[in-house]
Structure 1
Amino acid sequence: MAQARSDDSPVAGDDQRLPLELLKVAGVVLLGMLLMQLDGTMVSIALNRLVRELSVSVSTVQWVVTAYLLSLMAGMPVAGWAADRFGTRTMWNLALVSFLAGSLLCGLSNSIWMLITARVVQGLGGGMMVPVGQVMLIRIGGVERRARLVSLMAVPALVGPTLGPVLGGIIVDHLSWRWMFFINLPIGVAAFLAAGRTMPNIKARSGAVLDVLGVALIVPGLVAIVYGFTRAPEAGFGDARTAVPLAVGTALVAAFAVHAARPDDDALVPMRLFRFRGFASSSVLLLLSGVTMGAGFVDPLFLQQVRSDSALSAGLLLVATGFGSSLSSLAMGKVFNRLGPRKVGFAGLVCSLFGRCLFTQFDAGTGDVVILVAMFVTGVGFGMMVLSMTTALYIGLPPDQIARATSGSRIFQQVGLSAGTAVTSVVLQFQLTAHGHGSSGAGGGLDELARAYNNTFWWSVLVLVLAIVPTLILPTAVRGGRPVKRPESAPRPT
């Protein structure tokens, strides 16, 4: 069985090759993560088709997306504990089976409510799959290979949202929408069979006890917050349908923070992890970057409404963002140990700021080359930022806290994505109305429509500016991490 290493291990050279056995495990994990990412983004393309074929309203069909998001949040908090208690391979296979069962039921659905229920099953599996896979690779790879592994794990998260709409558009135009779910089955079965031959079943603490009170607070709290954000674009933040879930969810999460702050409490996500500089700064950055990525849903809307691009043309332009992210993440993974999280993260932040500032100057006459450059540079920046904060997250952490830190990081990012989408939707609606257009963008002239989008793009620039401070707090090296408080108060490896 592979053993987790502590952060006191020496850091090997950046050119060290990953062992074949580790690459096999990484391949299986990345395949499962890519399935989850693609599925989460393809479905949005098919909503209009679902409205017609299932004879439902737009407000009802939106639950196909919302139910998936809510179930993702329900699965994430318990993933770290479950990996510790039952083993990484066991939980990976369970999560994958849940995702595949949900995919099969989605494809066979003959009513909107059956489809929504199947999406819940899918989301529960997907919510556990990513953190469990990430925990497994971080534990067996060791600190000297951490940056390389993180750069690989970032690829599905960066490429999936870009390729998903393109692939979904092709399937919806030329096949049935059901094939968006059926296509998961052969790939997922292959990943399941390969997992039995390649994956270790690491149990960090066989006697780990589930934090029942923590689950009772954090799971409904997060679900309520995400639900509130999903209602905001339609109802606004002042409406009771948005404000009440957000208030209740915030209260429950605050109660969880108090519960998890007790020094002897073995919570799902212990607050003592924030004593470590890498975890604290990375968590804030994951939240802010999630907000920025969530705000990116306006990019294809601009291309289609202002430039009158087709859905497929807009999707092809968006590929530049995913390509830039993947390229920079893989390239920087080879030299990351030499440069350290702070330098790489700050360089990525500068690139992202430059790219998003270019977006604020777009209009109906902006050419494809300029748009491709802006998207590529933004993607390069995001790739470097994700690599830095995801690697820095584990610096100095005791090995037995890796699983819970991973679950916590996924929660921060998912809440950021939901908040970014909701807030940006409200900002865009306000800007469209202020510039003489309806909430759908109809009416008025192209110049005013472009100006509404330009003002909305400034929102993501502002969020990136807020990320400057936590980026400068990132650790400077991949080893030697220290708790923010005195060393004697820090948790120790067991």
Structure 2
Amino acid sequence: MSDKTADDTAEAPPARVDAGLLRIAFILVLGTFMATIDATIVSVGIDTLATEFTASVTQIQWVSTAYLLAVVGAVPASGWLAGRFGGRRTWIAAIGVFLLGSALCALAWSAPSLIVFRVIQGLGGGLLPATGQALLARIAGPGRTGRVISVVAVVPLLSPVLGPLAGGSILGVAPWPWLFLVNLPIGAAAILLARRHVPDVPPSAERTAFDLRGAALLSPGLAVLVYGLTEVSHGSALPAAVGIVAGVAMLAGFTVHGLRTRGTPLVDPRLFTRPPFGAAALALLVLGASVFGTMFLLPLYFQTGRGLSAFEAGLLLAPQGLGAAAGSVLVNRTIDKAAPRTLVVTGIGLILLGTLPFTQLGHEPPDAVIAVALAVRGVGMAMIGAPVMNIVYSRIGPAQLPRASGALNLLNTVGGSLGTALLAVVLQSRLTAHGQDVPQAFADTFWWVLGLCLLAAAGATRLPRTGPKKMA
């Protein structure tokens, strides 16, 4: 199978999702699983790492922040790399960079060295979800993309739940380097399986020059903006102001460059003005802010507001993972029949419903209510990502898939980063206002989550009314 290309598969795909395609999806989702879970698995070990390297919590927090910034910086280049070198080759290379970073992290001798190695790990991790999704969509073809994406899209939703559980379990039986060494056998297996079973999708016939100026503006601009917002939550006024102003200026410069350049920009700003991509982009951006912002708030509330350990907090979050799994099954059975707008708006409605109990944390709702609310949120989250991606992937040509996938993943990543930073600022202000009443401070912050969900709903109303089979 490795000797074949995906062109024939993409041109005339069978309607049935066969075992071979599911095997390919499983292999490619291993990369997404490692990249997304690594963003949360280390959060459990922050205190352990601070003790190991005699560093303050503020310093060691950069172990997580550096990874996030590297991911944000790497995503924009994924489309060009896949188009230039081929999807499978780029994906395997990204796995290799991620494993190199993981091994170096396990060998770190100080906090600064660990932070540098996390950047290397993040550069590989940032390429994996976008490259894997584009490759899978190309192999599946338009007729099967929706159903297969509905299966793999649940992985990023599970990682915030599984990360704390995995991290707590590892630290319970092994020293801290195993937080990173655990990636090595998974990554090695993914590379071997990919070489054997994943078709070798050829590079794009049209060779475009790398947009060096765009890369110098977009990736650093996003990273600097996220850094500035992160510093707002830390109370550092000057670094925050410099980061936000510089980040916005660089992103504005990239937009002007993208509109004026005669070459192919790293991410084409015009892409966001074309229906249904613009509506899909808005929905993913705001949804990322809501979902990932919530997954920042809840573990923090469970540990600071209820005094739970990181492992116990992970267990309490488990119903959301179960709900997401159930939602993916539902989407898999309806994605080719129901209108995209129906699925997405219903999903956002479920997230709103599941978020409401968290606006009442000041009244200390019982664990059963929290569990049900999280399960409802999980179902809703699963009903959004796959339909939105299916809309975009089914309406563009195979050559444009890598860049479109990179743009969608960039929006989701940036949305999650900005949402987390925004909610951290709101939470800090509410903690200052409420003093010792920690639950009420979290309850106030969750009203902002509801607001983000409403913005996502506004974007979703512009999605197509008709189901995929009726689209032109």
TM-score normalised per structure 1: 0.90
The 5 Å alignment of 1:129-168 reads: 129-168=128-167
Could you tell me whether the CA contact under 8 Å between 1:36 and 1:126 is conserved in 2? yes
Structure 1 match to 2:228: 228
Could you tell me whether the CA contact under 8 Å between 2:36 and 2:159 is conserved in 1? yes
Could you tell me whether the CA contact under 8 Å between 2:13 and 2:140 is conserved in 1? no
1:186-222 Cα shifts (integer Å, max 9, x gaps): 1111111111111223222352321122112212111
The 5 Å alignment of 1:270-289 reads: 270-289=268-287
Structure 2 match to 1:2: 6
Amino acid at match of 1:198: H
Structure 1, gaps ≥5 residues long:
438-443, 483-494
Structure 2 match to 1:451: 440
Structure 2: how far apart are the matches of 1:428 and 1:73? Answer: 23
> After the TM superposition, which of the residue ranges 79-88 and 261-270 deviates more from structure 2?
261-270
Structure 1: how far apart are the matches of 2:229 and 2:332? Answer: 34
Structure 2 match to 1:104: 103
The 5 Å alignment of 1:324-335 reads: 324-335=323-334
Structure 2: how far apart are the matches of 1:47 and 1:403? Answer: 35
The 5 Å alignment of 1:256-267 reads: 256-262=254-260, 264-267=262-265
> After the TM superposition, which of the residue ranges 124-133 and 390-399 deviates more from structure 2?
390-399
Amino acid at match of 2:447: W
Structure 1: how far apart are the matches of 2:361 and 2:226? Answer: 31
Structure 2: how far apart are the matches of 1:11 and 1:461? Answer: 40
> After the TM superposition, which of the residue ranges 272-281 and 193-202 deviates more from structure 2?
272-281
The 5 Å alignment of 1:207-246 reads: 207-235=207-235, 239-246=237-244
The CA deviation at 1:305 is 2.9
Structure 2 match to 1:487: none
1:263-288 Cα shifts (integer Å, max 9, x gaps): 85411111232343121111111110
Assess, with a 3 A threshold, how the Cα gap between structure 1 residues 152 and 463 changes in structure 2: closer, same or farther: same
Secondary structure of residue in 1 paired with 2:205: coil
Kindly indicate whether residue 459 of structure 2 is the aligned counterpart of residue 470 of structure 1: yes
The CA deviation at 1:5 is 7.7
Structure 2: how far apart are the matches of 1:228 and 1:353? Answer: 29
Structure 2 match to 1:171: 170
Could you tell me whether the CA contact under 8 Å between 2:347 and 2:379 is conserved in 1? yes
The 5 Å alignment of 1:293-312 reads: 293-296=291-294, 297-312=296-311
Kindly indicate whether residue 465 of structure 2 is the aligned counterpart of residue 461 of structure 1: no
The CA deviation at 1:10 is 9.2
Structure 2: how far apart are the matches of 1:257 and 1:153? Answer: 32
> After the TM superposition, which of the residue ranges 161-170 and 359-368 deviates more from structure 2?
359-368
Amino acid at match of 1:269: V
Could you tell me whether the CA contact under 8 Å between 1:307 and 1:364 is conserved in 2? no
Could you tell me whether the CA contact under 8 Å between 1:99 and 1:126 is conserved in 2? yes
1:89-145 Cα shifts (integer Å, max 9, x gaps): 111111000000111111111211221111111001001111111110011111111
Kindly indicate whether residue 114 of structure 2 is the aligned counterpart of residue 125 of structure 1: no
Amino acid at match of 2:278: A
1:385-428 Cα shifts (integer Å, max 9, x gaps): 11222222334223322111111111111111111111111111
Structure 1 match to 2:253: 255
Could you tell me whether the CA contact under 8 Å between 1:396 and 1:481 is conserved in 2? no
Percent of paired sites with the same residue: 37
Structure 2 match to 1:26: 25
Assess, with a 3 A threshold, how the Cα gap between structure 1 residues 232 and 294 changes in structure 2: closer, same or farther: farther
1:24-56 Cα shifts (integer Å, max 9, x gaps): 221111111111122111101101011111111
The CA deviation at 1:80 is 0.5
Amino acid at match of 2:164: P
Structure 2 match to 1:39: 38
Structure 2: how far apart are the matches of 1:267 and 1:120? Answer: 25
Could you tell me whether the CA contact under 8 Å between 2:44 and 2:164 is conserved in 1? yes
Structure 2: how far apart are the matches of 1:130 and 1:433? Answer: 38
The CA deviation at 1:363 is 4.1
Structure 2, gaps ≥5 residues long:
none
Structure 2: how far apart are the matches of 1:110 and 1:98? Answer: 20
TM-score normalised per structure 2: 0.94
Secondary structure of residue in 2 paired with 1:337: coil
Structure 1 match to 2:409: 410
> After the TM superposition, which of the residue ranges 81-90 and 220-229 deviates more from structure 2?
220-229
Assess, with a 3 A threshold, how the Cα gap between structure 1 residues 338 and 480 changes in structure 2: closer, same or farther: closer
